Amino acid sequence: MSRAAFTLALGIAVAAPVASQAQSMAGSMQGSMAGMDMNGMTMPHPAKKPTARRPVARKPVPHSAPKRRVVRSGPTSVGRAGPATAKGMDDMNDMPGMAMAPASVVPPSPAPAGPEPMPGMDMGAPGAAATPAMPGMDMSGHAKPMATMPGMAMTGTALAAGDAPAPPPPTDHYADRQFPASEMDRARHAMMHEQGGRSFAQVMFNLAEAQIRNGENGYRWDGEGWFGGDIDRLTIKSEGEGVFREGVEAAEVQALYSHAIGPYFNLQAGVRHDFRPSPTRTYATVGFEGLAPYWFEVAGALFLSDTGDVLGRLEGYYDQRITQRLILQPRIELNLSAQDVPAVRLGAGLTDAELGLRLRYEISRQFAPYLGMSYEAKTGRTADFARADGRKPSSTSLVAGVRFWF
Amino acid sequence: MDYVIDRRQLLRGAGAAGGGFALAAWLPAWAQSVSPGLTAPLPVVSGEDITLRIARQTMMIDGRPSRAIGINGTVPAPLIRLREGQNVRLHVVNDLDEDSSIHWHGLLVPPQFDGVPGVSFPGIRPRSTFLYEFPIRQSGTYWYHSHSGMQEQLGHYGPIVIDPAGVDPVRSDREHVIVLSDHSPMSPDAIFRAMKVNPGNFNFQRQTLAGLLSGRDQTLKDRMNWGRMRMDPADISDATGAAYTYLVNGHGPHDNWTALFTPGQRVRLRVINASSMTTFNVRIPGLRLTIVQADGQNVMPVEVDEFQIGVAETYDAIVTPADDRAYTLVGEAIDRSGMARATLAPRAGMAAEVPHLRKRPLTTMKDMGMDMAGMPGTAGMAVPGAGDMAPRGIDPTAEQNRSATLATGAAAGPGMSAGTGMDHAGMAGMKTGAGTPGDGMAGAAQMDMGSMKMRDFAAAPQVTKGPGVQTISPMPVDRTGEPGQGLEDVDHKVLVYRDLMALTPNPDVRAPSRSIDIHLTGNMERFMWSFDGVKMSDAMEPIAFIEGERVRVNLINDTMMGHPIHIHGHFFELVIGHGDHAPRKHTVIVAPGSKVTWDFTADAVGDWAFHCHLLYHMMAGMMRTVSVRTKEGTA
C-alpha cells in the first residue's frame, strides 16, 4: 500500500473507532457515551488514582479520535442517548470515582467541540485528564482536528510490515531442555503420527445383490476394500457373478497398490486373479480410480494375462440423490479385449456391457438396501461364443441387494 | 471400562431443590421428555492448589446416558476461578488408561506447562500426576482442554475465569458461564473414520433432485457448474447434528439448562465454544448482547443481536433483561443441523419460545476465494435481464437433529428462513452490484472457470502441490468486515471482527519487521487438512521466530470451509484498521476463501503448537509447531 493510501486510511481510522461499522458501533458508542451501563463497563481505573494522569500527556490521541464518529452519528442517536443516560444514572452509584451529575448535563444536540469527557458524569478530575484514565472508553465529545492527533492510526497494526529475513528454523526441540529427551521423542513421534499420519481401512460393496431373470436367477457382487493412509493404500477389489444352483460363473480378485496422484484420483497397480471361469487366469494390472467432474465415480484398468492377452475395463457410476436418503445410481461397466481369447470365450473388441439402474435407501450411510434393473449384453465375437455355447448373449434382471460398507 | 456416575446428576437434585421449582424436578431425568429446566451451576475450584482428576464417566444428555471423559466427575470440567497476580499449582491426575494432558487455552504460561504432548511436554502417563505451576498474568474468560488424542470430544474441557487484580472494567450484577460444546454417542475414532472414508458422511442437508424440482437451493445451472468443479456448496460442516447433540454446560437442548436473573440486572455471559467441530451462531431473541470481551481481552462495548463463535473462541456479553420473562439462548450450529439451547429466566422452570432452525447456508464463489466484486472489469457487473430474484428455500428433505423438535416459534417452517435469498451462490460476492440474480451467478461461475483456475499453484508458490490440496484461492480477500458464513442476510446486527476494538492500547505497537503467509489447505474429498499443503505428520520443520520479533502473519484460506486458527503461548492483534487498539485474540476464524492478517510479538521462548481448532482437522494434519528462540539460540 502506498504511503498516501496509508495516510488516507489513517484519516479514516482516526475519524472513527471503526469506520466501516458505522451502524453497529454508532449505536453502541452512543450507548457508552450516554450511560455506561449500556456497555457493561466501569472505569478501569478510578480517577482518584494519581498515576492515571500520566498517560494523558503521552497519548491524548486515541481517546479523542473515536469520538468524532459518535458526534457525527447525529440527532437520532442523541435522541436515543438521552433516556439511556437517565437510566444509566441509576447504575452509576456504585461506580468508584464518579459522582453523578444531573441528567440535564447531557448535550441536547450533537456534542459540542472540545473536551466533554463524559456527558452526564463528573469524573472528579479535569476532563482532559480523566479521559486517558479510561483508556479505550473514548466517550467524550472531542472534535479536535485530526492533525493534532498523531500516532493513533500510524501505530500498531496500521504500520506496514518490513521485509526482514526469516530466521532459519531451529534444529533442536525446546522441550528437550526441560524433559528427558527420550520421553519427548516418544511423545513427539506419537503426536506427529497422530496429526495426519493415521491409517484407515474400509470395505465397501457397491453391489451385493440377487438377480431375478427368466430361467436362471443369479447373484452379483462388486466390492472393494482398502487399508492405508491418505496417499498410499493397499486395495483389494473383487467382483463376480453366479447362478443359483449352478455355482459361480465369474469371480475375480485384484490386489493393488494404490497411490494418490491428485486431489481426486488414485493410480493403482497390482495383480488380478480370475478364479472363474476356468481355466483360471492371472493378470498384471494397472489402472486408475477416482472422482471425475460432475461427481462421476470412475475407474479404468488394463490387464495383461499370464498368457499374453490384453484386456481392459471401464466403469463408472453416479449417485443421484433424490432425497437425502433415496439415491438413484446409474452404473455402467464395459469390458474390452485386444484379441480373441477362445479359452475364456472372449472376442476381440468390446466383450460385454453392463448397464444398471439401482434405487437405494440409506437407512444409515453404511447400510442401504436397493432395488433395480440390470441389463447385461455380450457383444461382437464374445456374443458369438455365447451363442455357440447355447447361451443367450444378453439378459435383463430385476435386482435386489444391499449397498454397504464397514 | 468402568464409569463413574456423573456428579451432576446429584447436583441436579440439589440445584432443583435450591431453585425451588416443582416436583417434576425430583423425577429422574430419563422420565422427563423435556426438562422444566436445570439450574445446576458449574462446580467451581479455586485457590492456589487445585487438584483435577481426569477419568471416564457417563453423563446424562437429554435424559440419555452417554460415555464421556470428565474432570472431577463432571462434564464440562469444573470452573477454575483464579485472580490475576496469584500463583497456581494444578495437580492433574490422569485416571485414564491412556495418556492425557491439559492445555490452558489462552493462558500465557511457561512452555513446559502449555500441555501439548510432543511439543511442550511428554504428556501425562496413565495413572500418574503432573504438576502445572505458573503465575496468573492476565484476567478474563478462558478454558482448558485435553490436547491428547480426541479426548476433547468426549468432554475433557472446562472453563477458566480469571478476575482482574483491580477493578473489573466490565461491571455486572451477576454472571453465568456458558460452555457450548458438541457431544456424540459415536466414539471420536468412529466420527473421524467416517469422515475419512466417506466424504459428506454426516451431511443430511445436501442438495437433491427433490430440492431442484421444488425450486429450492441452487438452480440447475449452478448445480452443473459446481458439479463440474466437484464442489459441494452444502458442505458447511464436516461433523453435524447427525453426529452431535449440542450442549450448554454439558446439558442437551431438551434439558433446558437455565441461567437465573433478576429483571433489570446486568448479566454477564461468558460464552466459551468448547466444541470439537462446531461453529455456533449465538443469539437471545428479545435481548441485545453487548460484547465486552473477546478471547479474554476486554474490547470496547459493541451492541449486537447475534455473534458467530468459532471453536475455541470466547466472547463475554452483557445482557440486561428488563422483563419478568424467560429468554431462550440459542446456539445454532453453523450448518443449522441442530442447536444448543438454554434459558435465561427469573425463576427456574420457565421456558421461552424456541426459534426454528434457520435454513442452512450454501457456500458461494467467494468462499472459493473468487471475489467477483474484486475482479477487474467485473466490479460493476450488472448482469442485466436475469430475473430470478425470488428467495429459494432449503432442500425439502434436509434433516436436522432432535433439537429441531423444540421449535415453538411462529416463524415459517424450518425450510424457510427469515433471511432472504442467501441461497444464491455468490450473493456475498456480489455485494457491490445492485442486484444478484441467481442466473447471473451461474454465468459468473462459468466465467470463473474460464478465467480463474481453482488450483493454480502460481497463486501460492509456497504450497506443496499434492493430493491434499484441492483448491487454491485465486483471489482471497479480507472478510473480517463481513458477518460469518450464513449470517450475511439476517435482518439484525451480527458481530463482525472489525467491530472489535481493544479497550486498552496494544502493548506492542511496533511495526512488524517482516510478514509471512501461511496457507490453510485441504481436500474435502479425502478429508485431508494441512498448512501450505504439508501435514504435521509430513514434516517437523517449525515456523521459526526470534524472541521479541514482531511479525505480520497472513492466513490465507484456500479451502471452502472456515477454520478457527489458534496459536499457543501468544496473543495476536488482528490487522483490521484499528491501529494500536487492535483486538487481541488467541483464535480467529479464517472465513472460507478469505485472508486474515494479524501481528504478533514472539515474546515467549519455546516451542508452541499452532493449529486449526477443529479437532478432526488438526487430527488430519492441520497443525504445525511454532518455535521462538533467543537471537543467540538460533545462531
Domain ranges of chain B: 7-186+244-345, 497-634
Task: Indicate the average pLDDT of chain B.
Answer: 87
Subunit contact A18:B578, Cβ cutoff 8 A? yes
Residue A172: inside a domain, yes or no? no
Please list every residue in chain A whose beta carbon sits closer than 8 Å to the beta carbon of residue B230: 264, 291, 293-295
Subunit contact A191:B580, Cβ cutoff 8 A? no
pLDDT per residue as tens digits for the range A326-341: 999 999 999 999 999 9
Which residue intervals of A134-232 are DSSP H helices?
181-194
What is the least distance, in Å, from the CA of A370 to any CA of chain B?
18
Task: Give the end of a domain, one of A125, A158, A191.
Answer: A158
Residue B634, pLDDT score:
52
Asked whether this chain's domains B7-186+244-345 and B497-634 adopt the same fold, the reply is: yes
Please state whether the peptide bond connecting residue A279 to the residue before it is cis, i.e. omega within 30 degrees of 0: yes
Please list every residue in chain A whose beta carbon sits closer than 8 Å to the beta carbon of residue B149: 194
Out of B292, B466, B499, name the one closest to residue A24 (CB): B499
Query: What is the rounded CA–CA span in Å between residue B23 and residue B25?
Result: 5
Residue A104, pLDDT score:
33
Lookup result for grid cell 468412529: B190
A281, A341: one domain: yes
Subunit contact A167:B546, Cβ cutoff 8 A? yes
Does B432 score more than 60 pLDDT?
no
Please list every residue in chain B whose beta carbon sits closer than 8 Å to the beta carbon of residue A187: 99, 117-118, 121-123
A131, A246: one domain: no
Does B54 score more than 90 pLDDT?
yes
At B27, is the pLDDT very low, low, confident or very high (cuts 50, 70, 90)?
very low
Report yes or no: B31 and B12 within 8 Å, Cβ to Cβ: no
Report yes or no: A218 and A209 within 8 Å, Cβ to Cβ: no
The three grid cell numbers given for residue B562, joined into one nine-digit string: 472456515
Out of B167, B229, B501, name the one closest to residue A17 (CB): B501
Instruction: Decide yes or no: CATH 2.60.40.420 for domain B497-634.
Output: yes
pLDDT per residue as tens digits for the range B66-79: 999 999 999 999 99
What is the least distance, in Å, from the CA of B183 to any CA of chain A?
19
CA dihedral B164, B169, B172, B174 (to 10 degrees): -10
Q: CB distance from A259 to chain B under 8 Å? A: no
A292, A397: one domain: yes
pLDDT per residue as tens digits for the range B253-284: 999 999 999 999 999 999 999 999 999 999 99
What is the least distance, in Å, from the CA of B256 to any CA of chain A?
26
A220, A97: one domain: no
Out of B118, B228, B634, name the one closest to residue A170 (CB): B634
- What own/partner pairs with CB < 8 Å and gap ≥ 24 does B24-33 have? B24/B349, B25/B349, B29/B60, B29/B63, B29/B255, B30/B60, B30/B63, B30/B64, B31/B63, B32/B63, B33/B63, B33/B254
What is the least distance, in Å, from the CA of A266 to any CA of chain B?
9
A149, A208: one domain: no
**Which of A:161-200 have CB within 8 Å of B?**
161-170, 173-175, 178-180, 183-184, 186-198, 200
Domain with A218, as residue range(s), is 200-405
Residue A174: inside a domain, yes or no? no
Say how many C-beta atoms besides its own lie within 10 A of residue A403's C-beta: 24
Among B288, B454, B580, B627, which would you mutate to test the A interface (most chain A Cβ atoms within 10 Å of its Cβ)?
Answer: B580
A128, A39: one domain: yes
A322, A222: one domain: yes
pLDDT per residue as tens digits for the range B491-550: 999 999 999 999 999 999 999 999 999 999 999 999 999 999 999 999 889 999 999 999
Subunit contact A17:B621, Cβ cutoff 8 A? no
Subunit contact A162:B513, Cβ cutoff 8 A? yes
Between A and B, how many residue pairs show a Cβ–Cβ distance under 8 A?
A: 337
Residue A170: inside a domain, yes or no? no
Subunit contact B530:A196, Cβ cutoff 8 A? yes
Subunit contact A175:B582, Cβ cutoff 8 A? no
Residue A254's domain is classified under what CATH number? 2.40.160.40
Does B179 score more than 90 pLDDT?
yes
Calculate the alpha carbon distances from A60 to A18, A127, A150, B505, B580 in Å. Answer: 18, 12, 9, 12, 13
Among A191, A193, A321, A364, which would you mutate to test the B interface (most chain B Cβ atoms within 10 Å of its Cβ)?
Answer: A191
Subunit contact A169:B123, Cβ cutoff 8 A? no
Subunit contact A197:B535, Cβ cutoff 8 A? yes
Does B28 score more than 80 pLDDT?
no
Closest CA to B527 of A293, A227, A287, A200: A200
Subunit contact A159:B528, Cβ cutoff 8 A? no
Does B206 score more than 80 pLDDT?
yes
Residue A272: inside a domain, yes or no? yes
Report yes or no: B406 and B354 within 8 Å, Cβ to Cβ: yes
Task: Give the end of a domain, one of A128, A143, A158.
Answer: A158
Please list every residue in chain A whose beta carbon sits closer than 8 Å to the beta carbon of residue B318: 39-40
Closest CA to B547 of B10, B226, B111, B68: B111
A98, A246: one domain: no
Does B181 score more than 80 pLDDT?
yes
Out of B395, B499, B611, name the one closest to residue A25 (CB): B499
Does B92 score more than 90 pLDDT?
yes
pLDDT per residue as tens digits for the range B441-500: 433 444 444 446 888 998 899 999 999 999 999 999 999 999 999 999 899 999 999 999
Residue B36, pLDDT score:
65
Query: How many structural domains does chain A have?
Result: 2
What is the least distance, in Å, from the CA of A90 to any CA of chain B?
11
- Degrees (nearest 5) of the Cα angle B432, B437, B440? 90
Calculate the alpha carbon distances from B94 to A269, B72, B124, B127 in Å. Answer: 47, 11, 7, 5
CATH of domain B7-186+244-345: 2.60.40.420
Q: CB distance from A39 to chain B under 8 Å? A: yes
A119, A245: one domain: no
pLDDT by residue, tens only, chain A of 406 residues = 344 444 434 333 334 333 334 344 333 444 334 334 444 444 444 444 444 344 333 433 334 333 333 333 333 333 333 333 333 333 433 433 333 333 333 333 333 333 333 333 333 333 333 333 333 333 333 333 333 343 455 899 999 999 999 999 999 999 999 999 999 999 999 999 999 999 999 999 999 999 999 878 999 999 999 999 999 999 999 999 999 988 999 999 999 999 999 999 999 999 999 998 888 999 999 999 999 999 999 999 999 999 999 999 999 999 999 999 999 999 999 999 999 999 889 999 999 999 999 999 999 999 999 999 999 999 999 999 999 999 889 999 999 999 999 9
**Which of A:271-330 have CB within 8 Å of B?**
291, 293-295, 320-325
Among B360, B537, B610, which would you mutate to test the A interface (most chain A Cβ atoms within 10 Å of its Cβ)?
Answer: B537
Out of B469, B580, B618, name the one closest to residue A62 (CB): B580
Please list every residue in chain B whose beta carbon sits closer than 8 Å to the beta carbon of residue A190: 99, 117-118
What is the least distance, in Å, from the CA of A62 to any CA of chain B?
8
B115: left (phi over 0), alpha (psi -120 to 50) or beta: left
Say how many C-beta atoms besides its own lie within 10 A of residue A326's C-beta: 17
Residue A81, pLDDT score:
36
**Which of A:50-109 have CB within 8 Å of B?**
59, 62, 66, 91, 95-96
Residue A187: inside a domain, yes or no? no
Residue A263: inside a domain, yes or no? yes
Residue A186: inside a domain, yes or no? no
Identify the closest residue of chain A to B516 by CA–CA distance. A166
Report yes or no: A310 and A338 within 8 Å, Cβ to Cβ: yes
A153, A204: one domain: no
Among B197, B289, B549, B627, which would you mutate to test the A interface (most chain A Cβ atoms within 10 Å of its Cβ)?
Answer: B197
pLDDT per residue as tens digits for the range B390-424: 568 899 999 999 999 999 865 544 433 333 333 33
Residue A80: inside a domain, yes or no? yes
Please list every residue in chain B whose beta carbon sits closer than 8 Å to the beta carbon of residue A67: none
At B6, is the pLDDT very low, low, confident or very high (cuts 50, 70, 90)?
very low
Identify the closest residue of chain A to B306 by CA–CA distance. A24
A187: Cα separation from own chain's centroid: 28
Among B268, B578, B612, B625, which would you mutate to test the A interface (most chain A Cβ atoms within 10 Å of its Cβ)?
Answer: B578
pLDDT per residue as tens digits for the range B297-306: 999 999 999 9
Identify the closest residue of chain B to A55 by CA–CA distance. B505
A78, A218: one domain: no
Among B171, B175, B568, which would you mutate to test the A interface (most chain A Cβ atoms within 10 Å of its Cβ)?
Answer: B171
